Amino acid sequence: MKRFTLGFIIGGIICSALTGFAVEYAVTANPFPIRVDGVGKSIEGYNINDSTYFKLRDIADAVGGFTVGFTNNTITINTSQYTPPEPSEPANDDEPITIHEGEVSQRRFAREGDTVIKADGTEVVLKKGPHGVLGEGQGVAPDLGVTVTGVGNTTVTMTNVTNSVFSGDVGDQVDSVGMRINNESYFVNNITGEGHWGAEWRAMTSMPTTEGTFHYQLSEDKNWIWNNVIHSWTTLYNQNFSGYADMVLEANGLN
């Protein structure tokens, strides 16, 4: 009885001491994307006092090389019984695809040889123009509506038609002139219907060197428009002239 009482008292003292020196931990969900061998992974994790923690089983599933179990109140990690999964057949991204213009769809970015189907049913096979830009002069916006899975399994969609930013990290994917698409802008010329990434537009068009002669005059490539108010050319593709299309076409004798 004395031993029990003494143990109870000592235990109470220890508990009181531990309570007096209790440590507060700042716990938040892991805010950082995770990549394993360059591939984005969705793994639940926690940030505790500036250190990141994951479940062993989740790491085993994501990385491989070992298994995790629980036997006789013991956590077991086994490297000898691990059987690597059968390699899956990689998707052939080199095969041409069919793109319905403007339709939101999970697919890769457009490439040369792909077919774009416009709203009126017209089919356009994509090719590079004289400046090396995909779809140059073909009057289509092939990456409008593209949805891709980016770093950290985030889903990124290009849905707007003018002056819109493809906000998201999609890795090292590039446009047809070799510029990274991460957080890039996608512009559509509402008069011609042609759409390109910002770097592609800059590669294929430049401001005319001669002044315009009338308001809403289009440049020869139809990517610049003359403004009599400010007496200057402005890029047509990064402005929304969809509501003035008929007026612009009439001013240029194109309707």
The per-residue pLDDT for range 225-243, each reduced to its tens digit, is 999 999 999 998 887 777 7
62 lies in the same domain as 125: no
Is the pLDDT at 253 greater than 50? The verdict is: yes
Closest CA to 79 of 62, 67, 63, 70: 67
> Both tokens of residue 47?
């940030």
135 lies in the same domain as 43: no
61 lies in the same domain as 107: no
Q: Looking at residue 166, what is its pLDDT? A: 56
For the chain, what is the domain count?
Answer: 2
Is the pLDDT at 75 greater than 60? The verdict is: yes
| Residue 218 belongs to some domain of the structure | no
Q: How confident is the model at residue 130 (pLDDT cuts 50, 70, 90)?
A: very high
The per-residue pLDDT for range 168-227, each reduced to its tens digit, is 666 777 889 988 877 777 888 888 889 998 889 999 999 999 999 999 999 999 999 999
Confidence (pTM): 0.59
| Residue 240 belongs to some domain of the structure | no
CB atoms within 10 A of CB 121: 6
Q: Between 132 and 245, where is the model more confident?
A: 132
Query: Whole-angstrom Cα distance, residue 255 to residue 249?
Result: 6
| Residue 177 belongs to some domain of the structure | yes
First vs last C-alpha separation in the chain: 105
71 lies in the same domain as 137: no
Query: Whole-angstrom Cα distance, residue 229 to residue 33?
Result: 48
Query: Whole-angstrom Cα distance, residue 197 to residue 213?
Result: 30
122 lies in the same domain as 150: yes
| Residue 21 belongs to some domain of the structure | yes
| Residue 168 belongs to some domain of the structure | yes
The per-residue pLDDT for range 26-72, each reduced to its tens digit, is 777 777 777 776 666 778 877 787 788 878 777 777 777 777 777 77
Closest CA to 108 of 120, 126, 132: 126
Q: Which of 48, 78, 108 is the last residue of a domain?
A: 78
| Residue 139 belongs to some domain of the structure | yes
33 lies in the same domain as 107: no
| Residue 138 belongs to some domain of the structure | yes
| Domain region containing 199 | 98-204
Paired with 35 in beta bridges are 40
134 lies in the same domain as 164: yes
Instruction: Tally helices (H) and strands (E) across the chain.
Output: 4, 18
Q: Which of 78, 106, 125 is the last residue of a domain?
A: 78
| Residue 25 belongs to some domain of the structure | yes
Q: Looking at residue 154, what is its pLDDT? A: 55
